[in-house]
Each structure stands twice: as structure tokens, then as C-alpha cells.
A and B are shown apart, each in its own frame.
Chain A
Amino acid sequence: MESKVEFQFAGLADFLAMNGHGAYVWLAYGVTFAALAALAAYPPLRRRQLQGELRRQQRIEQRRRQVGQNKAAAEPA
């Protein structure tokens, strides 16, 4: 029941070739990890977008307030 864990290939070229199955194996792993990376990357990117949106809204509000104040100063009635 003693099973050794050792590298199964003679070298890098052998590892990449996978006895002729290399293209299938590497394509499957490549697409999988790209998909998983996209899932992981979406929340922080979207969050940054939301932060930008909040800052934009705040700037608009501030400008509106300033315009209101200037108007009040210009029309002393």
C-alpha cells in the first residue's frame, strides 16, 4: 500500500506533450483557470466602478450646492 508520489514525466517537453494528449489537457486547464480568474476578478473591479460612481455623484451634489449658494449671494432680496 506504499505508493510513491513522484514526477511522472521525463522532462518539461515530455510534461507538455502528455503523450500526445497535451493539447486537450492544457486547453481544458487554460480555459478553466481563465474562467475561474474572471469570477474572482469581477467583484473588486465592479467595486472600483461603484466607488467612481459615488465620487461622481458627490461632485455633482457639491457643484449644485455651490451654484445655489452663489445665486443666494448674487440676489440679496
Chain B
Amino acid sequence: MEVSLAWQWFHRLGSPRWFYQKTGAWLPWLALASMVLLTVGTAWGLGFAPQDAKQGNSYRIIYIHVPAAFLALAGYYIMAISGAIGLIWKMKLSFAVMRAAAPIGAVLTFVALFTGAIWGKPTWGTYWVWDARITSMLILLFLYIGVIALGRAFSREQAADKACALLALVGTVNIPIIYKSVDWWYSLHQPATIKLTQASSIHPSMFYPLLTMVIGFYCLYAWTLIAHTRILVLQREWRTQWVREALEAGK
């Protein structure tokens, strides 16, 4: 009984129309939550968190650098898993999520690399080094861009979806390398500040604003991923009556 209900839900979730109608009401709340959290977190991190003893004020870049890097990685999981679900269960919506996740992930990876480069200048004296963490993040950016480019290279949507899913799945090899890079090849990039399994090496006065920003980035990610997926659904179901009605009603 439970299992069949779960399957029913799973199949409904796979329906682009159901997804479109269900998620419309969530967007304003996610938008509000992310704007409030990011505003509070930014003000806190920039103005109220204490200065770093070693790095001075340049360390304040951490409040955007770390959340962007988190979401760049989490976004890759979401893209690859959506691709896998699409391949295995032939779920249309899942492919749409995968395709929407690519540009968002690319932007977040770019933000992580860009803020990292700027942070590197006053801290390490250079914008760029071919450090393991930085190089594997650059590969992540190329993987995202590869998925976007591959999706555009096909005229048939179904072929594009399958090719993108395969590339995304192959690219997951890079993810553990990124996580472990700071421990395996310890060079310039500092090890992770926040760890799930042990105490973090960061003072609470700096940790709470960082946590606020991380949650804010998660909300922003959910918001933009849903919004971008909805647009893809509209384009893909363009010929159906419900899309026309939804666009006419301005919903």
C-alpha cells in the first residue's frame, strides 16, 4: 500500500504538467527566503563578523565563496542523478531538471572560482595557481559547460537529453576528487573549514553568518532550479493545451 502510493507520487512527479502546477505557489516563498537570508548573511558577514586574525578583511569573501562552491558541487549531484533517473525510468521531467541544473551549476562554479581568485590575490599573492582543488573545480566548470554545449548540439531533444545524461554521469568521477583534493595534495588551498563528522575549525561568530549564507544559497538554488525547469517544461510542452492556457492566464 505504502509502496504503491510512493510509486503513484513518483509517477505524478514525473508529469511535467503536475510539476508546473504544483510548484508555482512555492516560488515566491523560496524567493523571499533566499533574499532575506542572503541580505542578513551578507550584512552580518561583511559588517558584523569579526576580522580574521591572519587574513584581515579579505577573508570576508568566504561568506560567498564557500556557499557557491557547496552548491556548485551539490548542483552537480542533482544534475547527474536527474540524468540517471531520466535514463533509467525515461522520465521527461527528470531530463528537464538535468538540463536546467547545467547553467545554474556553471554560474555557481564560476562564482566559486572567481571569488577564490580574488581572495587569492591578497592572501597568497596570486590570482591563480594550478592547485588540485582549483584545477578540479575548473574541470567542474568545463563539465557544466560541456553539458550545456552538448544539449545545444542536437536537434532532437531526446537525443540531447540522453547525451547530456551520459556526460553528466561520466563526469561524477570528478566530484570525489574535488572533495579529497585538499587532503590528498595539500598545497595552497586550505582544508575544509566545516566538517560534518568532527568539530569545525571556525569560531561561532564567523560560523553563524556562514551558515546563514549557505542556507540562503540553498534556497536560491531551489528557487532558480524550479523556475528554470518550469521554463523548460513550457518550451517542451509548447504544443499542449495546458501550456497555452497557463501562458494566457499569466500563471
Is A73 close to B, CB under 8 A?
no
Q: Are A38 and B228 in contact (CB under 8 A)?
A: no
Supposing A28-B114, A35-B110, A43-B228 touch, asked if A50 and B64 sit within 8 A by C-beta, the answer is: no
Q: Which residues of B contact A5 (CB under 8 A)?
A: 44, 48, 205
Q: Are B204 and A3 in contact (CB under 8 A)?
A: yes
Least distance between A75 CB and chain B CB atoms (Å): 32
Cα-based distance from A6 to B122 in the complex (angstroms): 25
**A-B contacts, 13 listed (Cβ < 8 Å):** A5-B48, A7-B47, A7-B48, A8-B51, A15-B46, A18-B56, A28-B61, A32-B111, A36-B38, A39-B104, A39-B224, A42-B227, A43-B230
Is A63 close to B, CB under 8 A?
no
Supposing A28-B64, A50-B247 touch, asked if A40 and B31 sit within 8 A by C-beta, the answer is: yes
* Shortest 7 CB-CB contacts between residues of A and residues of B: A43-B227, A18-B57, A21-B58, A28-B115, A21-B57, A32-B64, A28-B118
Q: Are B247 and A54 in contact (CB under 8 A)?
A: yes
Query: Which residues of B line the A interface, CB within 8 A?
Result: 31, 38, 42, 44, 46-51, 56-58, 60-61, 64-65, 68, 103-104, 107, 110-111, 114-115, 118-119, 121-122, 203-205, 220, 223-224, 227-228, 230-231, 234-235, 244, 247-248, 250
Cα-based distance from A51 to B118 in the complex (angstroms): 41
Q: Are A25 and B57 in contact (CB under 8 A)?
A: yes
Determine the main DSSP class of B at the interface with A: helix
Query: Which residues of A line the B interface, CB within 8 A?
Result: 3, 5-9, 15, 18-22, 24-25, 27-29, 31-32, 35-36, 38-40, 42-44, 46-47, 50-51, 54
Cα-based distance from A44 to B38 in the complex (angstroms): 21
Least distance between B109 CB and chain A CB atoms (Å): 11
Q: Which residues of A contact B64 (CB under 8 A)?
A: 28-29, 32
What residue of chain B has the Cβ atom nearest to residue A46's Cβ? B231
Q: Are A40 and B223 in contact (CB under 8 A)?
A: yes
Q: Are A24 and B104 in contact (CB under 8 A)?
A: no
Least distance between B232 CB and chain A CB atoms (Å): 10
